[in-house]
Structure 1
Amino acid sequence: MNDKTRKILTDISTVTRDIEENYPELQKYLDETQSTLPQGGNQEAEINEKELKSYLEELKKMISEYNSKH
């Protein structure tokens, strides 16, 4: 795994934790958006950087849209 992919995964973890701690009502949507995360064990999991970036943006957008409505 390269540094760029590792950074994206760290950002995803940070935003996910923010949702869990500050936006519990949005947690139900996390399962729906996790389809882009690698499946399987560490040895067989493929990480698609483009999909990870897209997932990160989805999470950020979810928070942004929620904040604009509340």
Structure 2
Amino acid sequence: MKQLHKILNEITTLTTDIETNYPELYRSLDENPMTLPVSQHPHMDKEVMQEYLESLKQMLHHYLDEHKTQTK
């Protein structure tokens, strides 16, 4: 349970950072397939939340890489 709590805290921190510092990216989170449950009652466990956290990190990393390329 502690591990899941830690993952949820990381998701919250990262999402808040994206919302504050990258609002244009934050708006696209609603469009991210990882945020849309496939079933009406999705099973949310530690593994699913870890995958979601990793997808957020990847999105931010990709966005930052893209942004660097555009500013050069």
TM-score interval for Structure 1 and Structure 2 normalised by the shorter chain: 0.7 to 0.9
- CA offsets per residue over residues 25-67 of structure 1, 9 Å max, x none? 111222233236xx88xxxx95311110000000000110011
Query: How does the TM-score come out when normalised to structure 1?
Result: 0.76
Identity of aligned residues (%): 40
Q: For structure 1, which runs of at least 5 residues remain unmatched after alignment?
A: none
Within the candidate set 46, 53, 57, 1:60 is matched to 57
RMSD of the TM alignment (CA)? 2.0
One-letter amino acid of the counterpart of residue 60, structure 1: K
Which runs of 4 or more aligned residues in structure 1 lie more than 3 Å from their structure 2 counterparts after TM superposition?
A: none
Q: Tell me the distance in 2 between the aligned counterparts of 1:35 and 1:7.
A: 22
Please, which runs of 5 or more residues in structure 2 have no aligned partner?
A: 68-72
Structure with the greater alpha carbon radius of gyration: 2
